[in-house]
DNA sequence: ATATATTTTACGCCATGGCTTTACAGGGAA
DNA sequence: TTCCCTGTAAAGCCATGGCGTAAAATATAT
């Protein structure tokens, strides 16, 4: 899992105005400038997640994510960036973000629903939230602010949401209100931008139908290409991306892959693996990731992975790693 | 722990209009009519909690508690009933209910706060809620309705709350709305009646200052008499009544008993016991009560008692009972 | 390809031993 | 009475073995 490199470049460049030199940030984040100069290049998710640590240290700004997002008027670059700026209105922009956003940042899922109001939910992967809670918060603030800024920049009008809902604790609410221009609620169940139907109907100044169709076609082809992996790889993707407190059942996974359970089992058998095998791999990966945050207790990791019994988790862990959790934590320090 | 017997008599008499004969209810509840004919007599808490089971079976009414409460215009009887009807206004009524209510129904705590609005919270003991969730719901509905009905009856005006908040799932909301005459919210964190300041300032038709002072003096003396137990008994009372997910610490208990930690330890030593000893007794008692509901898992009981580790709970349980939890559940079936 | 039946495996639940840490017990001085 | 200090017991955390059950694997018939 990774993040489009140029998003990081944008963040670092914008942060220069907060007293943080571009080169210093690269160095402190372990990122070479060439890694983030090309919109096709992806940066490993942990490197991307942790850029906020030096950013915070250097700026001493508890709202560094929000402030950097304020200064970002182009969230994504390259092909997807061109696609978005060619959309006809804000609504289509957000739909394209939802459809292709995961190609640029697979650790974030964008969900969009339109009823009386339009709701865009930004869902970071739970593993990221658990392992690096504070950097995840800055990243989310950044995304929200950058999304709104980008919408305003492309439409030539200040787009004001109906309200913002944030899943974390309040922190200097007046800064949020000032930037978004609407009420902001903390401690909500998810991170959401709620927009009016008028707002999402706002046309873009940069709209270009033929360019839109061109870029959309290219993106769709690219997405299809990425998807033509082995069944095992696709299954891993599904299990990992749709992980929310428990591994999906084989029925759910088969449905997500548009095949029957028995067919999925046959395909996996052809590839010398099984659903149970893949599910174990995903659990192991998430467990080991979370164990690298020493403040996360073993019982929490067990709960997160869907085990209702700690002894069962211990046994499973031993079977994956041939080591006990404590022993593995010792070796990884 | 018990409940003022005449409250049950009132419930049974009111339920007669729902097709349930008084004698039948007594028989099905294992309660002799003499037990509930005297306002000074108390009925064991489990008998009192379980009266709703036959009531529900006979009436087949999922809102039996609410409906019986609707027909009850005198919540408490005897001395405390006279005290309440002698109050000057609704506000004083509720204060007396909070102060002396636990003498009539120790398994319920009434909490009252007045800010912009007046909030009366009715908190049933957690052990009751866990062991008998459905009867607890009926009892709570009954209490809420009876409290409002009693207020209206004593003041000669229909007292309409600002809103009602209930901690359980929605069930035929229109019946609640119709009776209370205000909005009702379910799935809230506690059971509360929210009243306006105008409502609580409503004077009682039955107000009598000299009778109030007489009954208040008698109740205060009686409460003081009940309290002049051994330190161990008082501590048990405090630990049990203030149990909310964990046993209070020795500091908290000492503060509740108006003495220092060291003084409490000395008093208990004089009575050949200790805080740890008393705390263990309370934990054991709650654990055994909850284990009698087979749908409550051991891990839930462990959590409820404040253990963050199931193996520690198992060990403690063995030390209290000389039996494993499963073995004890087998013998008690 | 699906449906059914049988087999296998991993999770849920139970119980216990071991080690560390922390809350309490209790003595004693002021 | 308060304050301080030392010792101890119980809770927190770790790890493992055992047994039953349900989900998944797989064989087989259609």
Each as own residue / partner, the long-range contacts of residues A114-118 (CB below 8 Å, 24 or more positions apart, any chain) are A114/A197, A114/A200, A116/A197, A117/A162, A117/A194, A117/A195, A117/A196, A117/A197, A118/A91, A118/A94, A118/A194, A118/A195, A118/A196, A118/A197, A118/A199, A118/A200
**Rounded average pLDDT over A307-319:** 92
Residue A244 CA, nucleotide D22 C1', distance (Å): 22
Q: What was the ipTM of the complex prediction?
A: 0.66
CB B196 within 8 A of CB B162: yes
- In chain B, what is the greatest distance between 2 CA atoms, to the nearest angstrom? 59
Mutation site, B302, B303, B310, interface A, largest A CB count within 10 A? B310
Burial of A59 (0-12, 13-18, 19+ CB in 10 A): middle
Which residue of chain B is at minimal alpha-carbon distance from A308?
B299
CA angle centred on B122, ends B117 and B125, rounded to 5°: 150
Q: Do domains A2-219 and A230-332 have the same CATH topology?
A: no
Burial of A37 (0-12, 13-18, 19+ CB in 10 A): exposed
Question: In this predicted structure, what is the pLDDT of residue B177?
Answer: 93
Which segments within B60-182 are labelled E, that is strand? 108-114, 118-124, 163-165
State residue A10 phi and psi, 5-degree precision: -55, -45
**Side-chain-side CA neighbours of residue B8 (13 Å):** 34
Strands across the sheet containing B192-195: B108-114, B118-124, B192-195, B163-165, B183-185
Q: Which residues of B137-150 are buried (b: 16+ CB within 10 A; e: fewer)?
A: bbbbbbbbbbbbbb
CA angle centred on B307, ends B302 and B310, rounded to 5°: 60
Q: Is residue A331's beta carbon less than 7 angstroms from any atom in nucleic acid strand C?
A: no
Give the residues across from A183 on adjacent strands.
Answer: A163
Q: Which pLDDT band holds residue A118 (cuts at 50, 70, 90)?
A: very high
Give the residues across from B163 on adjacent strands.
Answer: B183, B194
pLDDT in tens, chain B (333 residues): 678 888 888 888 888 877 778 888 888 888 888 888 877 788 888 888 889 998 888 888 899 999 999 988 888 878 888 899 889 999 999 999 998 888 888 888 899 999 999 999 999 988 888 888 899 999 999 999 999 999 999 999 999 999 999 999 898 899 999 999 999 999 998 999 999 999 999 999 888 888 888 888 888 887 777 666 778 888 888 888 777 777 888 888 888 888 888 888 988 988 888 998 899 999 999 999 889 888 888 988 998 888 888 999 999 999 988 899 999 988 865
DSSP per residue, A108-165: EEEEEEESSSEEEEEEE-HHHHHH-HHHHHHHHHHHHHHHHHHHHHHHTS----SEEE
Helix (H, G, I), strand (E, B) or coil at B42: strand
CB B88 within 8 A of CB B160: no
Residue B248 CA, nucleotide C27 C1', distance (Å): 25
Nearest nucleotide (C1') to alpha carbon of B280: D10
CB B182 within 8 A of CB B162: yes
Residue among A212, A243, A188 nearest A93 (CA): A212
Q: How many helices (H) and strands (E) would you count in chain A?
A: 19, 7
Q: Is residue A306's beta carbon less than 7 angstroms from any atom in nucleic acid strand C?
A: yes
Question: In this predicted structure, what is the pLDDT of residue A184?
Answer: 94
Question: In this predicted structure, what is the pLDDT of residue B228?
Answer: 65
CB B275 within 8 A of CB B283: no
Residue among B140, B202, B146 nearest B165 (CA): B140
User: What is the residue extent of each domain of chain B?
Assistant: 2-219, 230-332
**Predicted confidence (pLDDT) per residue in A228-283, tens digit:** 667 888 888 888 877 776 778 888 888 888 888 888 888 888 888 888 888 889 89
Which residue of chain B is at minimal alpha-carbon distance from A297?
B308
Partners of B310 on chain A (C-beta within 8 Å) are 310
Question: In this predicted structure, what is the pLDDT of residue B227?
Answer: 65
Specify the CATH number for B230-332; select among 1.10.10.60, 3.40.50.2000, 3.90.245.10, 1.10.150.530.
1.10.10.60
Question: In this predicted structure, what is the pLDDT of residue A164?
Answer: 95
- Fold for domain B2-219? H-NOX domain (3.90.1520)
- State the DSSP H helix or E strand holding residue A193, giving kind and residue range, or none if neither: strand A192-195
């Amino acid at each position: 899992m990774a993040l489009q490199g140029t998003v990081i470049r944008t963040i670092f460049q914008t942060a220069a105005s907060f007293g943080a030199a571009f080169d210093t940030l690269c160095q402190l984040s372990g990122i070479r400038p060439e890694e983030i100069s090309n919109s096709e290049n992806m940066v490993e998710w942990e490197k991307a997640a942790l850029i906020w640590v030096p950013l915070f240290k250097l700026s001493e700004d508890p709202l560094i994510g929000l402030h950097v997002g304020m200064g970002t008027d182009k969230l994504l670059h390259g092909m997807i960036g061109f696609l978005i700026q060619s959309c006809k209105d804000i609504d289509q922009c957000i739909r394209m973000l939802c459809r292709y956003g995961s190609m640029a940042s697979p650790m974030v899922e964008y969900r969009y629903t339109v009823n009386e109001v339009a709701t865009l939910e930004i869902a970071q992967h739970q593993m990221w939230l658990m392992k690096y809670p504070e950097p995840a918060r800055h990243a989310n603030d950044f995304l929200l602010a950058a999304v709104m800024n980008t919408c305003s920049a492309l439409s030539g009008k200040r787009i004001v949401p109906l309200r913002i809902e944030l899943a974390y604790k309040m922190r200097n609410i007046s800064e949020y209100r000032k930037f978004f221009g609407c009420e902001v609620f903390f401690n909500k169940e998810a991170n959401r931008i709620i927009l009016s139907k008028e707002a999402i109907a706002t046309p873009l100044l940069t709209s270009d139908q033929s360019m839109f169709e061109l870029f959309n076609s290219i993106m769709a082809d690219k997405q299809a290409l990425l998807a033509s992996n082995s069944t095992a790889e696709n299954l891993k993707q599904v299990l990992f991306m749709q992980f929310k407190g428990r591994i999906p059942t084989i029925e759910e996974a088969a449905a997500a892959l548009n095949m029957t359970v028995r067919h999925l089992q046959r395909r996996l058998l052809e590839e010398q693996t099984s659903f149970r095998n893949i599910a174990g791999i995903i659990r192991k990966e998430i467990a080991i990731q979370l164990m690298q945050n020493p403040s996360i207790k073993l019982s929490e990791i067990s709960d997160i992975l869907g085990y209702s019994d700690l002894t069962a988790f211990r046994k499973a862990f031993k079977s994956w790693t041939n080591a006990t959790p404590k022993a593995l934590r010792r070796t990884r320090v």
